[in-house]
Amino acid sequence: MRNGRDIGRKIDSRKNLMLFSGRAYPELAEEVADHLGVDTVPTQLYDFANGEIFVRFEESVRGCDAFVVQSHSTPINQWLMEQLIMVDALKRANAKRITVVAPFYPYARQDKKHRGREPISARLIADLFKTAGAHRLMTVDLHTSQIQGFFDGPVDHLFALPLLADYLAAKLDTANVTVVSPDAGRVRVAERWTDRLGSPLAIIHKRRDPRVPNEVKVNEVVGDVAGRTCILVDDMIDTGGTIVKASDALFENGAAEVIVAATHGVLSGEAVDRLKNSRISEVVVTNTLPITDDRRFDKLTVLSIAHLLGDAIREAFEDGSVSRLFGDDA
């Protein structure tokens, strides 16, 4: 028989969404929080003198559905370690379910062995997240789709294509647009662009010189680009070398205008100067990574991904369909 104080006591079975932000890009996490109508959880985050990271959440997280947002910009290893420690802290504080929200998946370009004695670092990252205690992974435009299989659990692979394509479609005459893949590896992505815009496809055939690391030799353009507005599409812009050389090849083949659209604006090294001094008329990226004022330039347009992340988080929290956001309920 229950004692008197337990009579009539009801169990609160409501799920509790809690949003957490690392220090890499708190502005994006705040945008996501505003879209969801929640606040980010107050968190102590600081470095010890020797560089070790300390984490403590200032609210109880027991039984919550936790979403840990971290953008992996420079210094990428620090922000990766911070997110892993946050996940571990949530696991030890008895969070019910932990989702890693990594808009830019770290080490994504190291997804296979090109030669002997090389790591598959993208798989290692997935293993680290799982070991730390993550139940689910959410990311945007992976460098290769096979990375989804590296994580032992659900992976929500989001796409920025609708955001980027709709922005450009609203300002361009799509009848005069050609979508261009900068290499053979991006063809499938470019085909999705052509489906959305109703535009033809062109491909740039390139070959790397094995004697010169990080140098790309552009050979030829396959497709009709003469007199047309070309949209060069890629998942990221890092140093900008590939994109600028691809744009030069398009202009040499008679392109009237070249616009670049990419999800992740890494913009390392001399990327800003290369893009500023090129004939490219506009560079459109999303804010999966923070772009500081010194990396911004007149040709650069940054679109917010926050509403997409927020919608995906809501669907995951409510056990809905994240794929529904892209018109695919499969």
Q: Which residues are catalytic?
A: 206
CA distance to 64, 87, 294, per residue, from 94 (Å): 8, 11, 41
SS3 content of the chain, % helix, strand, coil (to 5): 35, 25, 40
Helical H runs in 55-180? 76-92, 121-132, 161-169
Handedness of CA 224, 230, 236, 242 (dihedral sign): positive
Residue whose C-alpha is closest to residue 60's, from 44, 75, 76, 41: 41
The torsion angles phi and psi of 231, rounded to 5 degrees, stand at: -105, 110
Region of 225 on the Ramachandran plot (φ > 0 left; ψ -120 to 50 alpha; else beta): alpha
232 with 180: CB under 8 angstroms?
Answer: yes
- Say if residue 200 is preceded by a cis peptide, omega within 30 of 0: no
